[in-house]
Amino acid sequence: MRDLDTPLRIAVLISGTGSNMVAIAEAIEQGRLNAKIVCVVASNPRAKGIAKAQEMGLDTMVFTPDDYAKSTAEVERTMVRAFRNAEVDYVIMAGYMRKCTATLLLAYPNRVVNLHPALLPAHKGAHAIQDAFEAGDKVTGITIHLANMEYDEGPIIYQREVPVLEGDSLEDLETRIHAAEHEAYPWVIGKLAEDKVHLHGDHCVID
């Protein structure tokens, strides 16, 4: 059992902008979150978040679409080796647009966390904000959950509703969703750091 005074060691997985990774890093820097980002993994060399991670002095590991096409298992084995060396406690997906497979999930059972910009099980997939907007939803939101073998599935840790307001553009809704994510994800990781998230059967409870 980890000494709860020591920072939670996390690897953050990204594929794009990395704004949630930055929000997590800022929460740590400002003393709001007792964690340490020991590695940022990008699934794509074009991910803008890589430069941001490097500016913040974080270690990065970058894979290419070709790497995944050749062998996702090998990509994940490489990750797991690096995570074990860095004594990673939790793997935090923050806009990582790849499905995790058994190699990573069995190495970190119930310790791979995903963020999704909708109220799962509604609007799974890569365009959840747009899908909710186009469906005419009046309420959408965000979900933070433990990852399993299915994309955007697994026990839900936390959800927050985000309203779709009259006259919203898609960009307005994206901005509101991202603001909710940037606040909620560091808060939930803080609960993991305090060992206050428990899995009862298929359900997560926050103490």
- Cβ atoms of 62 and 42 within 8 Å: the answer is yes
Chain residues that interact with ligand GAR, rule: CB under 6 A: 14, 16-20, 49, 94-95, 115-117, 126, 128, 152, 178, 181
Burial class (CB in 10 A: 0-12, 13-18, 19+), 68: middle
Residue whose C-alpha is closest to residue 136's, from 173, 100, 184? 173
Nearer to ligand GAR, 84 or 125 (CB): 125
Q: Whose CA is closest to 148, among 123, 120, 122?
A: 120
Q: Decide: 80 and 104 in contact? Cβ < 8 Å.
A: yes
Residues 78 and 61: their CA atoms lie apart, in Å, by: 10
Q: Which is closer to ligand GAR, CB of 117 or CB of 186?
A: 117
Catalytic one of 116, 123, 145, 178: 116
Q: How far is CA 97 from CA 14, 100, 103, 154, in A?
A: 8, 9, 17, 16
Q: How far apart are CA 56 and CA 45, in angstroms?
A: 17
Minimum CB separation of residue 177 from ligand GAR in Å reads: 6
Nearest CB to ligand GAR, comparing residues 55 and 207: 55
Quick check: 97 and 128 in contact, CB under 8 A?
no
Beta bridge partners of 161: 141
| 116 assigned to active site | yes
Question: Catalytic residues, which ones?
Answer: 116
